[in-house]
Structure 1
């Protein structure tokens, strides 16, 4: 029997992941397995295993090795009980692989298993509604879909983060469709599905056929824009939007990418600017000169917000994108982390 696997990328946030799994465990649709790739090193891996122990999971196997991307895997299970999750598998990354690298490590680990039909990628700081997965499965079952998105709601405010995303190629920026709307505001889901360019990586339902035909995520970005890249490479596959699949998102809680420009983490600022230019150059080269100028001007928003330090970081990220730098941002992620 085939089923849905859930993939989560962790980085030293065991409490957030435990909360995400607590919400996921209320799903009305069963979860085949939850695969988590911990990017934060050995101590973070142990802390995550301990946090899952608090949810009733016990170690069933603990193995060294795993390939180039991961060097340890731990399978955790619990006695049969009411709940959607039967088992969780943790993978320890050999280093910080970035978002796409960790997702690809999960896909590599799942590849030998013939019994999963889709991977639901969730951010650690998300909490899916009980019927969210069932709505995604039903929507994807209409045929032709490669990736299906959810209605993302910001925790705390109860407002919409996005329904789907549009890429503004001459600004080198994404646009969140529905941003700030009331959670239950009336919408036309078909119009959203027709107009969106990409699905948010915070809650992204990806079919196995899509992975087979399109390939893995691009690891050039390290963080940000990977999901846009994946969606733009979709070929004949359709992008879906399941309005009834509601997912709450504590936006920016795990990487420091909140909207306050003064408190954003340096790595978030740097990669946000770099990834915009990398994606624009790859998919919209005719728009790149205009987008490069526009993104440079928009870095001044940090000055206006009094975030002078992050303005300098944004300029460095912009320059790195202009120069085509890809992969691990060595200046911000120390070797071995």
Structure 2
């Protein structure tokens, strides 16, 4: 039966997410005033992620395949990286002509019940929107903003989070300042997806959403005030969290992706990007983070991952990055 509630497609890509996916799905099931079409794509998790998904939604029946609201699971069977998982979910949801917005959501996010409705009904104005940004706060300190949208330093490829660490009561940013929306919680419109195509899969991790945003043409980025998502960063791959340094795994792939991004979009920034990498690695090493410093340099300068990173990758993931 068709719903008179606004519809929103949701794509969640999981990998080693057994400890967080249950809370994420429970928060979505508590959403009010919206019809959610959720696709969870598991990238061949070696832990109990798939079992945790099924336990969280014991009535999982794959309703999304039939164009109905509900939750569906796609087991990718391989770890092709974040964008590959997104693209699988996006293809499934885009086949439903009733969906005009697609929400990329990390499994380590928890969503207040009113946020999905706000994202589904947000009016971006007469120009429409490519992406809809919104406030993401720290899961372990929800009174502090993690990101209100991001900006890119074209001289180095470094990205910066708008309003990071500011109080969660701070005013929203001017949407014209936003260069990209974090992949942890990003709403893309059908108009944008049809124009830009799928996410680039060769980054494997990081910068996919930054690259995607630069393919939006004249479509602007909008900001949905009032919509908030709580994000516990770094649960699977060791991304930087408050008061911590990103793991060697995260350092390698983030700066590998940054170099790829610069070559693709701002090649003149490679010199500044190299200088920044050397300085940052020296800072990390001076503070005792030698493994992290080495991983950063190997990633940016196109070398293979260090052994501790390589050993954490499955054979299919190694093949994906050419190692």
Query: TM-score, length-normalised on structure 2?
Result: 0.86
Q: Which residue of 2 aligns with 1:179?
A: 164
CA distance in 2, matches of 1:195, 1:262: 28
Between 1:132-141 and 1:156-165, the stretch displaced more is: 132-141
- Structure 2 residue matching 1:134: 3-state secondary structure: helix
Runs (4+) of structure 1 exceeding 6 A deviation are 260-263
Q: How does 1:118-157 map to 2 (within 5 A)?
A: 118-143=101-126, 144-157=128-141
CA distance in 1, matches of 2:241, 2:50: 31
What RMSD, in angstroms, separates the aligned Cα atoms of the two structures? 2.6
Q: Which residue of 2 aligns with 1:29?
A: 33
Q: Which runs of 5+ in 2 are unaligned?
A: 318-323
Change (3 A) 1:331 1:221: farther
Count, aligned residues: 305
- Structure 2 residue matching 1:293: 3-state secondary structure: helix
Change (3 A) 1:312 1:117: same
User: How far did residue 52 of structure 1 move?
Assistant: 2.0
| Pick aligned residue for 1:93 from 76, 89, 109 | 76
Between 1:140-149 and 1:17-26, the stretch displaced more is: 140-149
Pair 1:4 & 2:8 matched? yes
Q: Name the structure with the higher strand share.
A: 1
CA distance in 2, matches of 1:150, 1:188: 9
Cα deviation code 1:259-301 (max 9, x no counterpart): 4797643321110111111112211122222222222221223
Q: Which residue of 2 aligns with 1:251?
A: 233
Pair 1:288 & 2:273 matched? no
Q: Which residue of 1 aligns with 2:19?
A: 15
Query: TM-score, length-normalised on structure 1?
Result: 0.82
Cα deviation code 1:103-140 (max 9, x no counterpart): 00111222332221111111111112222222223334
Contact 1:41 1:93 in 2 (8 A): no
CA distance in 1, matches of 2:124, 2:242: 39
CA distance in 2, matches of 1:260, 1:141: 32
Q: Which runs of 5+ in 1 are unaligned?
A: 61-74, 78-84
CA distance in 2, matches of 1:31, 1:205: 15
